[in-house]
Amino acid sequence: MNATITLKRLEIVIDEEKLEELINILNDVGVRGYTFIKQAGGLGSRGTRRPDDIFFEQTNAMFILACEEKQAERLVTALRPRLKEFGGMCLISDCEWVIGPAASY
Amino acid sequence: MNATITLKRLEIVIDEEKLEELINILNDVGVRGYTFIKQAGGLGSRGTRRPDDIFFEQTNAMFILACEEKQAERLVTALRPRLKEFGGMCLISDCEWVIGPAASY
Amino acid sequence: MNATITLKRLEIVIDEEKLEELINILNDVGVRGYTFIKQAGGLGSRGTRRPDDIFFEQTNAMFILACEEKQAERLVTALRPRLKEFGGMCLISDCEWVIGPAASY
Amino acid sequence: MATIQPVVIFFILGVLAGVLKSDLKIPEALYKSLSIFLLIAIGFKGGVSMAKYEITEVLPIALSMVVLAALVPLTAYPILKKLGKFSQADSGAIAAHYGSVSAVTFAVGIAFLDGIKETSEGYMVLIMALMEIPALVTGTVLARRGAGGETQWGKLMHEILTGTSIFLMVGGVIVGYYAGIVKLVSPLDKMFMDLFMGVLALFLLEMGLLASARLSAIRAKGPFLLGFGILFPLTAGFFGAFLGAIFQLSLGGTMMLAVLYASCSYIAAPAAMRIAVPEADPAVSIGASLGVTFPFNIFIGVPIYFEMAKFFKAMF
Amino acid sequence: MATIQPVVIFFILGVLAGVLKSDLKIPEALYKSLSIFLLIAIGFKGGVSMAKYEITEVLPIALSMVVLAALVPLTAYPILKKLGKFSQADSGAIAAHYGSVSAVTFAVGIAFLDGIKETSEGYMVLIMALMEIPALVTGTVLARRGAGGETQWGKLMHEILTGTSIFLMVGGVIVGYYAGIVKLVSPLDKMFMDLFMGVLALFLLEMGLLASARLSAIRAKGPFLLGFGILFPLTAGFFGAFLGAIFQLSLGGTMMLAVLYASCSYIAAPAAMRIAVPEADPAVSIGASLGVTFPFNIFIGVPIYFEMAKFFKAMF
Amino acid sequence: MATIQPVVIFFILGVLAGVLKSDLKIPEALYKSLSIFLLIAIGFKGGVSMAKYEITEVLPIALSMVVLAALVPLTAYPILKKLGKFSQADSGAIAAHYGSVSAVTFAVGIAFLDGIKETSEGYMVLIMALMEIPALVTGTVLARRGAGGETQWGKLMHEILTGTSIFLMVGGVIVGYYAGIVKLVSPLDKMFMDLFMGVLALFLLEMGLLASARLSAIRAKGPFLLGFGILFPLTAGFFGAFLGAIFQLSLGGTMMLAVLYASCSYIAAPAAMRIAVPEADPAVSIGASLGVTFPFNIFIGVPIYFEMAKFFKAMF
Ligand SMILES: Nc1ncnc2c1ncn2[C@@H]1O[C@H](COP(=O)(O)O)[C@@H](O)[C@H]1O
Ligand SMILES: Nc1ncnc2c1ncn2[C@@H]1O[C@H](COP(=O)(O)O)[C@@H](O)[C@H]1O
Ligand SMILES: Nc1ncnc2c1ncn2[C@@H]1O[C@H](COP(=O)(O)O)[C@@H](O)[C@H]1O
Ligand code: NA
Ligand code: NA
Ligand code: NA
């Protein structure tokens, strides 16, 4: 597959309530692109969270972002101290960005 | 990127109706963390599924989970016999878990 | 992990308005399976998009699809000329498809 | 002929919004809420007026009309198979749709009668609920005769009997009947009777939007389905009006029986056929019933069925 | 004894839909919309009739009834701990649920009074709103006495005071009171008074669905919670009726005070306890309050509390 | 001066909920459903009362009032550019917002008239719908004069004409007019007229929530926009009242024309400007129109416009 750029792909899951806080961190670090999905359910160290539980609205937000390795390192450095409080998870993997759309990474 | 742990990342898509069944399997295997998103659309061997089709509410649920390789193997072993009936897909890839939040994998 | 097939995993984010157009392209190329999620928010070169903004309903759709490398190349070739107009992003990575469900890739 | 009810104009507005590519969208939650309301309200209204009858008196009549409803899919099937050249599965599925009924067409019929200050027997709503069963079962049998694979009868019957449509209508009948007996209709009627027409208006707006999106699906068999979608309900309605007069229903009741026989389903039937006859193409049956027969019935059919009812009532 | 209100049959329909595994689903947005409506409507109705009283006159009585409400969790706690063998956290959390009130049970009580053409003091709704505070605070104190970790009192009080329930009820009271004073109740009552019963009907349908899904959660402690969930509200209601008669409330008001003391929360309390006593298991308290006490109250409790009110009113 | 309508207190409650960080949330589907209802209801009400006029008689007057509405953005633009120091794009976009109208402010005006038993000409709603066109087109021309890139006129006109607002209002007018002519207003009015005020109440609650979230966006230009957002509508309203009196409208109609000229859009205009002037910052125009002008109009403006109407009606 030619005409691609190698980037890091981060996948972060946190409480939906913390969404704005995470966005602020991403902005501070200078991330230029991310995608998020709300109303995610899940299981983790703090038990299950179900978007369809009418009595407890506990949902997660999932963030996916592609960025350069340097940027990813900066982000992880900024994020790590908060992760304990945020809970959830933060995964990193490799990916190829297909050149074409505006380079928002 | 230091201070990460190498894990397997599983991505499972099934009919939303089967959500509880899949959760039961995950619990049986002893998975300690997963994230799911409902109301996904898609195309597969059984045709298209659209969350916005008012006449046929056919939607998928997408599960993402990070776990140790051993755990992943156990899960795949438990899941495989059911996959034919479930349909959908189950993908495995590599990822790095950023150490910080409670180790729910 | 035995009994898996190595495939390419594509992850595409575009404006939700373009969903039908993208589906048409996928169909033209002959893709046999994909999953999509609507109502995604995000940040990119054209600013932020929030699914909860009542005044501007600007949302993204996220596509995930697993296919053979050849198919992925065909798809990228067909998609690339449109990506500039679509905006968003298109990532490629490797994955293993667990054999079991109907082979819709 | 009678004037067109203002409420049906909302259907045209919906079609127009679709055709003009307006950004008008009815939130899915609103659509579902409106249909929950309509189903309960139809049942409630029927139940309240049933409280005035002796149930045991009407039961045999009601049951015979339900059983005779199986004739509708039995007639539709050969026409679809021979003239329409549809596959066995599709013919059976479409026949099931046309044997089944549309609660919204029923509601438009009720609204029409309200407009001319006529009423109908309250138990018509029970007939409507029960008619689903012979229609869907007959359609399924026709579709699957000699076909391989086993029919999921258990799942099908569960889907029919506990499906939202029948469940809410019968539930509404029970509450309405009880409220009528204990004379406590009053505060509930402010919602389920007074708002009926307004809710129907919003629902028809969405129906119009949906219909305009569905018409394209029948393009291939367009001319045949256009003819079938108009002529078949006319015939079925004629038969219904005839039966109603024979059974000595009131004028309004005779018309409503014609409406029931003439109307076809696009909500309950598709869900049932997906389970019972998965090999049938739902786009065709929904396209025909929602895109052709539904608008025909609410604009032209209903007044015609009223004339048919008048004709047969004068005869017997 | 008084006839059962038609509206509560919708609760049975909901339970039935759950048990029969019907595909009936109330969209989440509808559920939330109905609860917003009900809270405003309850407040509005109370506010309108409060406009007829001198507020300063009723305030001391209202406040004493609120303060006395703290007795309810204080009584429930040792029963749950000793007899029920629940942990300290669970006992406190369940006690908070039973000390707190259910706006929907309150609404069913109002509907019951409407049905027999009785009324109650408008400020009962303010009492309802205020009762949350002593109930939830007492429950939290009981749950966390001597426990490690600090209680998030600030967050808890914010949750209680600005939570949707209290906020909308008090908001409704303000608008209703003002509308009553300036004599502009009229066009708003078409919505918030006339439709009250119909909206309650749809809400009870969903409550039934939710209750049927929740009952399984209490299986382990089933027998105890079944007994507790019936006997405790009866006792609390008895106490409430006694207090109401002592405080010279009207017959309807006496009954409504019994309903307030007897009812228990399954919306506001769970949200508050999640913050204040996160180690308690919410499934148990919701299961007991929604699965046992709520249906008991709306079908059997409310008429009994009315009889209790009659008894004590005749006494004092 | 006239008493404040109870309904507008819901706006304050919404703002309060936002300021207190209450967890109150109006489901998005409810918000959209309420706005669909309001637009249809406004149109329906206007259409019903239009059925009493000879259309051809009022058309020329209506059209001149629409054309004159282009003066509003033409006046606003230089003020915003010179005094406000906004960019050309922002000035044009904000001018378009202020030239355009707010259906909810219109609804509050109607509610105000209802409260004092006054009426207005039914065709005011058509004027409201039509006024969007000159306002948005003028604003776009001003914003893009000499600017690079081509204006998407086709897309803009499609957005304006088939956008939900105009489509539903005009649709409501058509149904209402027809219902008035055939004398079948009755069952539809139970929904679209009787519930109008109650629906407006819930909608204003959400408007308050939204406004409190939007005010922060104008912080940078706060003082200027505060002054502009109050003084400009007063001037425009003055001009509208003057025109209304000249055109011999009724007292209520004169006031409503003032309301139309004074009110500004925060739903249709932002959507149109996003297409036509994408380089303008929507946060500023929405912040000013929803955060400043809308609350000013519904609390203080409407009674003032009524006084203005009285003044000019006495004059001519
Ligand atoms: N191993 C995992 N794989 C996928 N998602 C996880 C995993 N662990 C935690 N999560 C997600 O993170 C959320 C919060 O986790 P926790 O803070 O551990 O309760 C959970 O509800 C899951 O959605
Ligand atoms: N190759 C694929 N890539 C992504 N998603 C898939 C793929 N194949 C199947 N799916 C998802 O799985 C669902 C069920 O697939 P199936 O059982 O094959 O109809 C589809 O609706 C898709 O959402
Ligand atoms: N680097 C990135 N990582 C993740 N998502 C992105 C990235 N860049 C763009 N996107 C997504 O694509 C959407 C459109 O991007 P754009 O066309 O650049 O404005 C954004 O709203 C994001 O959801
Ligand atoms: Na039929
Ligand atoms: Na209580
Ligand atoms: Na204006």
| Tens-place pLDDT, residues C48-89 | 998 887 777 789 999 999 999 999 999 999 999 898 888 899
- CB of B45 within 8 Å of a chain D CB? The answer is no
Q: How many CB atoms neighbour CB F1 within 10 A?
A: 8
pLDDT of residue E283 exceeding 90, the answer is no
| Cα–Cα dist E173/E179, whole Å | 10
| Residue A58 CA to ligand 1 centre (angstroms) | 12
Ligand that comes closest to the CA of residue D289: 4
pLDDT for E148 equals 64
| Average pLDDT taken over every residue of chain D | 87
| Cα–Cα dist D114/D93, whole Å | 34
pLDDT of residue E178 exceeding 80, the answer is yes
- CB of A2 within 8 Å of a chain C CB? The answer is no
Q: Against a cut of 0.95, is the pTM above it? A: no
Query: Between D210, D274, D282, which is nearest B54 by CB?
Result: D210
Structure tokens at A43: 């299981």
Query: Which uninterrupted H or E stretch holds D61?
Result: helix D55-68
Contact A52, E28 (CB under 8 A): yes
- CB of F193 within 8 Å of a chain E CB? The answer is no
pLDDT for B2 equals 61
**pLDDT, tens digit, 9 for 90 and up, residues F238-271:** 999 999 999 889 999 999 999 999 999 887 788 7
Residues in B touching C102 (Cβ below 8 Å): 44-46, 84, 87
Residue A60 near ligand 1, beta carbon < 6 Å: yes
Question: What number is the average pLDDT over the span A32-57?
Answer: 90
* Alpha-carbon distance C52 to nearest alpha carbon in chain B (angstroms): 17
Query: Between E29, E191, E192, which is nearest F27 by CB?
Result: E29
Residue D148 banded pLDDT, cuts 50, 70, 90:
low
Residue A66 banded pLDDT, cuts 50, 70, 90:
very high
| Residue E150 CA to ligand 1 centre (angstroms) | 25
Query: Which uninterrupted H or E stretch holds A94?
Result: strand A89-98
> Chains C, F: CB contacts under 8 A, how many?
14
pLDDT of residue D219 exceeding 80, the answer is no
Touch criterion met for A and D (3+ Cβ pairs within 8 Å)? no
A92 versus C85: which is more confidently predicted? A92
Contact D193, D64 (CB under 8 A): no
Interface touch D188/E196, C-beta < 8 Å? no
pLDDT for F149 equals 65
**pLDDT, tens digit, 9 for 90 and up, residues D228-263:** 999 999 999 999 999 999 988 999 999 999 999 999
pLDDT of residue B76 exceeding 90, the answer is yes
- CB of B91 within 8 Å of a chain A CB? The answer is no
C-alpha atoms less than 13 angstroms from C-alpha of D219 in its C-beta half-sphere: 5
pLDDT of residue C1 exceeding 70, the answer is no
pLDDT of residue C2 exceeding 70, the answer is no
| Residue C49 CA to ligand 3 centre (angstroms) | 9
- Out of C1-5, D222-226, F262-266, which region has the weakest mean confidence (pLDDT)? C1-5
pLDDT for A2 equals 61
Query: Alpha carbon of F187 to those of D6, D34, D114, F45: distances in Å?
Result: 10, 17, 9, 13
| Average pLDDT taken over every residue of chain F | 87
Residues in C touching F31 (Cβ below 8 Å): 54
| Cα–Cα dist D240/D257, whole Å | 5
Query: Alpha carbon of B98 to those of A35, E244, F283: distances in Å?
Result: 19, 61, 37
| Cα–Cα dist F127/F43, whole Å | 11
| Average pLDDT taken over every residue of chain E | 87
* Ordered DSSP codes for C9-59: EEEEEEEGGGHHHHHHHHHHHT---EEEEEEEEEEETTEEE-TT-SS----
For ligand 1, what atom is nearest to the CA of residue B105? 1
Interface touch F28/C54, C-beta < 8 Å? yes
Query: Which uninterrupted H or E stretch holds D186?
Result: helix D186-192
Instruction: Work out the angle at residue D227's Cα, subtended by the Cα atoms of residues D225 and D229, and round it to the nearest 5 degrees.
Output: 60
pLDDT of residue F2 exceeding 70, the answer is no
Backbone angles phi, psi at C41, to 5 degrees: -100, 180
pLDDT of residue E253 exceeding 60, the answer is yes
pLDDT of residue D57 exceeding 80, the answer is no
Question: What number is the average pLDDT over the span F16-26?
Answer: 92
Structure tokens at D158: 């569960």
Residue E85 banded pLDDT, cuts 50, 70, 90:
confident
- CB of E278 within 8 Å of a chain D CB? The answer is no
**pLDDT, tens digit, 9 for 90 and up, residues A69-80:** 999 999 999 999
**pLDDT, tens digit, 9 for 90 and up, residues E9-22:** 999 999 999 999 99
Question: What number is the average pLDDT over the span E38-60?
Answer: 83
pLDDT for F188 equals 93
pLDDT for A41 equals 96
Residues in A touching B101 (Cβ below 8 Å): 45, 83-84, 86-90
Residue C33 near ligand 2, beta carbon < 6 Å: yes
Query: Alpha carbon of F312 to those of D113, E180, F101, F239, F245: distances in Å?
Result: 49, 33, 22, 10, 6
| Average pLDDT taken over every residue of chain A | 92
pLDDT of residue E147 exceeding 70, the answer is no
Give the end-to-end CA distance of chain C in Å, rounded to a whole number: 19
Question: What number is the average pLDDT over the span E55-79?
Answer: 84
Question: What number is the average pLDDT over the span D209-234?
Answer: 85
pLDDT for F239 equals 93
pLDDT for D50 equals 85
pLDDT of residue A1 exceeding 60, the answer is no
Residue C104 near ligand 2, beta carbon < 6 Å: yes
**pLDDT, tens digit, 9 for 90 and up, residues D164-214:** 888 998 899 999 999 999 988 988 999 999 998 999 999 999 989 988 887
D132 versus A95: which is more confidently predicted? A95
pLDDT of residue F145 exceeding 90, the answer is no
pLDDT for E266 equals 82
Question: What number is the average pLDDT over the span D5-15?
Answer: 92
C-alpha atoms less than 13 angstroms from C-alpha of C23 in its C-beta half-sphere: 16
